[in-house]
Structure 1
Amino acid sequence: MPQQFTRASYHTICDDLAKIDPDFANVIHLYGYPPFWSRPNTFESLVHIILEQQVSLASALSALNKLRERVQEITPARILLLTDAEMRECYCSRQKTAYIKYLAEAIISGQINLEAFEQMEDEEIRKQLTALKGIGNWTVDVYVMFALQHTDVLPIGDLAIVNAIKRLKGLPKETPKEELMVIAEQWRPYRTVASMILWHYYLCDRKSPPAP
C-alpha cells in the first residue's frame, strides 16, 4: 500500500522538508504552513478535477456548483441522465462533457473502482485512469495527491508548480522540466507535500507587494 500523509503528520513533513531545503523553510517562515488541501475520494472530486483542466479554479467551481444545482448529488447515474445541452447550461464544454460521461460510464460498468484505488500504487491508478479519454497525467496527479493523500507525487505538468520552482530557486524561465525534476529529487519521499508548499508560495507571493 502506498505511503500516505494525514492532517496529523502534515506539519511534521513540512518541517522535515524545511530542514532539507532552506527555501522551503523561508516560505514557511514568511507565509506559514500551506493549507491541508484535500478532497474526498468520490466521483464528484474527479469531475471537479476534470473541470479544472486548463481553466481558472473559479471557473471550474462555477461549473461544479451549476452541476450540483441541476442534479443535487453528482453521481455517475445522475450525470448520465443529463443531455449535452443541459451540461452546456452548467458551463461544461463539449469536450469536458464527453470526458465526464466517459468516467461515469467507466465507474458504472465497474471498469473503474475508486475504493479499490485506495489500496493501489500510483502507477496502477495512473494506468487505469489515463486509459479513459480526457484524463491525463495532471488529472491523475491531482487526484492522487488530494483524494488519496499519497506522499510522493510531483505534478510537473502544473504550470504553477513549474513557475514556483523557477521563482523560488532563481532559475531562468527557459529552464527545462527535466532540470526541475532533478531538483525535486531531494524532496523524496514527500514530493506531494513539497508541491503543497510550492503552491502556497506561488499563491502568497503573487499577493505580496513588489519590493521597493
Structure 2
Amino acid sequence: MTTIKIKPPEIFNYEECLWFLDRGFDDCLHQINKNTITKALKIQNNLFLVSIRYEGTLLSIQILQGNPSAKEGELIKSYISQWFDLYTDLEKFYKIANKDPVLKPLIKKYWGLRLIGIEDLFEALCWAIIGQQINLSFAYKTKRALVENYGRTIEHNGTSHYLFPTPDTLSNCSVEALKKLQFSRNKAQYLISLAKDFRDGIISKDQLMALDSKENMLTRLTNLKGVGAWTANYAMMKCLKIPTAFPIQDVGLHNALKQQLGLKEKPTLESIQQLAKNWKNWEGYATLYLWRSLV
C-alpha cells in the first residue's frame, strides 16, 4: 500500500481542521472515523481512495484503492496540501489578528485552524448555490441527494465513497429531475446552467486564476447565472484561496460578529466594512475564524 507523507507548517492544528470537516452535517464527500479522514479523489482521470491521519508531526496519506504513478502521487500530495491550505503563511494573518480585538481571542482559542478548501471550482460554485438562503442541514441533505444520484463512486470494504458529479453529467439533468431531489426550480436551473458553462469551456478554474485581480475574478463569476457577490466570494475564498475574498453578506459571519461583540442586533454591512479595515488582505481567514466561533 502506497503511503505519502506531508510535513505541515508550524502553525497547524489537525484537530481543529478535523472539527471543521466533522461538524455533524453529514458531508457525503468524505468520511471521518476518529482521527482518520477517508476521501475519494479524481487525479488525471483516475480514481483513488485515500485515508489521511496525523501521525506525530506528519500527515500520513495511505492509498487505499488505486495505484498512483510517481506523478499522480505528487498530484495527490499537492491536492491534500491545497485542501488543507498548507501553503499559506498564517504567521502573517496572526500578526494582524493579534492587533484586532475581535480576532485576537479567536486565534488563541482556535490556533492552527486552516481554511479547508473545495479544490474543484465547479463543486465550490455548486455548493455555494445549493446553500443559498437555506440552513446548512438542509443544504447538506440536498447535496447528498445530488451526489448519490449523479456522482461517481468507489466501493471499498462495503462502503460507497462518492465524488461530486461532473459538469458533463449535470448538464444533461432536467429541472424536473432535480426538483425531485428537493431543489427549487431556480436552483435546479442555476446548477444545470453552470454545468453547461463548465462543459462548454465558458468558465474554468484556470481561466479565473489567469486574471490579474480579484475584481476581475468577481466580475467574471457574477456574470454566471445564479452567481451573486456572496457566491462568488465564497468560491474565491474556498477554491481559489484568494485571501481578500470576503463573503460580507454571509449570515454566519453576521451572527458570529453579533456574538463576539455582544450586540442585540446583527451588525450592518457598513459596520462590518469598518471592522474589516483591521483585517485588510486577510478577510477570508477572518471570516473562517469567526465562523469557527459559532459553536
State the TM-score, normalizing by the size of structure 1: 0.83
- Which is higher, the Rg of structure 1 or of structure 2? 2
- Look up the equivalent residue of 1:180 and give its one-letter code: I
Q: Larger relative CO (CA 8 A, sep 6+): 1 or 2?
A: 1
Structure 1: runs of 5+ lacking an equivalent: 205-212
* 1:70-107 Cα shifts (integer Å, max 9, x gaps): 22241122112222222122222111001111112222
Matched, 1:55 2:110: no
Matched, 1:97 2:97: no
- Look up the equivalent residue of 1:80 and give its one-letter code: S
Is the partner of 1:198 in helix, strand or coil? helix
**Richer in helix (by share):** 1
Paired-residue identity, % = 26
Displacement after TM superposition at 1:108 (Å)? 2.5
Stretch deviating more after TM superposition (19-28 or 131-140): 19-28
User: Contact (CA 8 Å) 1:17, 1:194: kept in 2 or not?
Assistant: no
Displacement after TM superposition at 1:14 (Å)? 4.3
User: Contact (CA 8 Å) 2:118, 2:238: kept in 1 or not?
Assistant: yes
User: Contact (CA 8 Å) 1:118, 1:148: kept in 2 or not?
Assistant: yes
* 1:105-159 Cα shifts (integer Å, max 9, x gaps): 2222322122211232221122122112211011001100000111112211101
User: Contact (CA 8 Å) 1:141, 1:154: kept in 2 or not?
Assistant: yes
Matched, 1:150 2:242: yes
Q: 1:114 aligns with which of 205, 208, 212?
A: 205
Displacement after TM superposition at 1:187 (Å)? 0.7
Matches of 2:93 and 2:184 in 1, distance apart? 38
Q: 1:12 aligns with which of 91, 100, 114?
A: 91
User: What is aligned with 2:260?
Assistant: 168
User: What is aligned with 1:76?
Assistant: 167
Matches of 1:49 and 1:132 in 2, distance apart? 13
State the TM-score, normalizing by the size of structure 2: 0.62
Matched, 1:184 2:276: yes
**Richer in strand (by share):** 2
Structure 2: runs of 5+ lacking an equivalent: 1-81, 153-164
Matches of 1:45 and 1:110 in 2, distance apart? 17
Change (3 A) 1:114 1:86: same
Change (3 A) 1:84 1:66: same
- Look up the equivalent residue of 2:202 and give its one-letter code: Q
User: Contact (CA 8 Å) 1:153, 1:192: kept in 2 or not?
Assistant: yes
Q: 1:141 aligns with which of 217, 233, 244?
A: 233
Displacement after TM superposition at 1:10 (Å)? 5.3
Matches of 1:171 and 1:67 in 2, distance apart? 38
- Number of residue pairs aligned between Structure 1 and Structure 2: 200
